Amino acid sequence: MDKISFKPGTMLNPVPVVMVSCGTKPEERNIITVAWTGIVNSEPPMTYVSVRKSRHSHKLIADSGEFVINLCSEDLALATDFCGVKSGREVDKFRTQKLTAVNGEMVSCPMIGEAPVNLECKVTQVISLPSHDMFLAEIVKVHVRRELVSTSGKILLEEAGLICYNHGEYFGIKRKPLGRFGYSVMKNKTKKRLNKEASQSRRTGKEGKPSREKSSGRKQEPRTKNAERSPGSQKATPNKERKASMDRGHKTYKKK
């Protein structure tokens, strides 16, 4: 196939886009939009955010060793962009974007109440890279908006209208999934059963109640009319007896 070569660059697309809240004091709380983030370990669940050393949020995260990853939905796209181009040295992003700062359970920095999902994180290691510092962190608590949890305990992320970042632009995630993990080798009988379960979850999702986790007390924001779905759904309480095959063969390193 005919292709054109380019110099090395950050051409891994699409990538997640999240708002990272940080700062443990009311007067220093801040939000930075990050695309350099992802999952790096399953047990314990670990993530990372890479932040330029010159950024205001870099010092806040480095000093406290804590941050919150707030997933972004379509109705938060404007705020997501704003928090990525404006500096917290100059403006209170919570106030200007009318976002609600909510206390976390395990960390001292605030969560964003309007975000559909919040991941409280504690830094375990900092890796210094030429342009960024990578903050490796353990996810110590997850909060999901009540309306996104079905009566059976499934987290319905397809109902959250999440967005991603693709080559400089924000995109909503399409409503209908192309498939689910393992569907390429799945038996037809299994496919039918899972499709039936997914259909039932979507019908009961709006009536869903949170699982055993306590509600964070956030204000419930109405979904936008055009909110789209992301592929797949998972249970709020993972089944320890059944692990995804993609995790097999990977070591879990203990914190030192």
Strands (DSSP E) found in 129-251: 132-144, 154-155, 163-166, 169-172, 234-235
- Hey, what are 89's tokens? 């040295």
| Partners of 142 in beta bridges | 119
Q: Which domain holds residue 48?
A: 15-234
> Is 211 part of any domain?
yes
Q: What is the pLDDT of residue 202?
A: 62
Q: In what order do the strands lie in the sheet with 169-172?
A: 15-16, 163-166, 169-172
> Is 174 part of any domain?
yes
Q: What is the pLDDT of residue 100?
A: 98
Q: What is the reported pTM? A: 0.77
For residue 193, the SS3 value is: helix
> Is 172 part of any domain?
yes
pLDDT, tens only, 25-42: 999 999 999 999 999 999
Q: What is the pLDDT of residue 1?
A: 87
DSSP label of 20: E
Q: What is the pLDDT of residue 223?
A: 42
Q: Residue 192 class from Cβ within 10 Å (0-12 exposed, 13-18 middle, 19+ buried)?
A: exposed
Listing DSSP states for 28-64 in one string gives T-EEEEESSEEEEETTTTEEEEEEETTSHHHHHHHHH
Total structural domains within the chain: 1
Q: Which residues, given as ranges, of the chain have pLDDT below 70?
A: 201-256
Provide the percentage of residues in the chain whose pLDDT is more than 90.
Answer: 67
> Is 3 part of any domain?
no
> Is 249 part of any domain?
no
Give the mean pLDDT of the chain. 84
> Is 207 part of any domain?
yes
Q: In what order do the strands lie in the sheet with 66-71?
A: 30-34, 18-22, 66-71, 117-128, 132-144, 46-52, 37-41
Q: What is the pLDDT of residue 255?
A: 42
Q: What single-letter amino acid sits at 164?
A: C
Burial 33-44 (b: 16+ CB within 10 A, else e): bbbbbeeebeee
> Is 112 part of any domain?
yes
> Is 6 part of any domain?
no
Sign of the alpha-carbon torsion through 25, 27, 33, 36 = negative
- Asked whether 244 and 235 are in contact (CB, 8 A), the reply is no
Q: What is the pLDDT of residue 5?
A: 96
Domain harbouring 169, CATH code: 2.30.110.10
Contacts of 161 (CB under 8 A, 6+ apart): 73, 74, 75, 116, 172, 173, 223, 224, 226, 227, 228, 229
- Asked whether 97 and 83 are in contact (CB, 8 A), the reply is yes
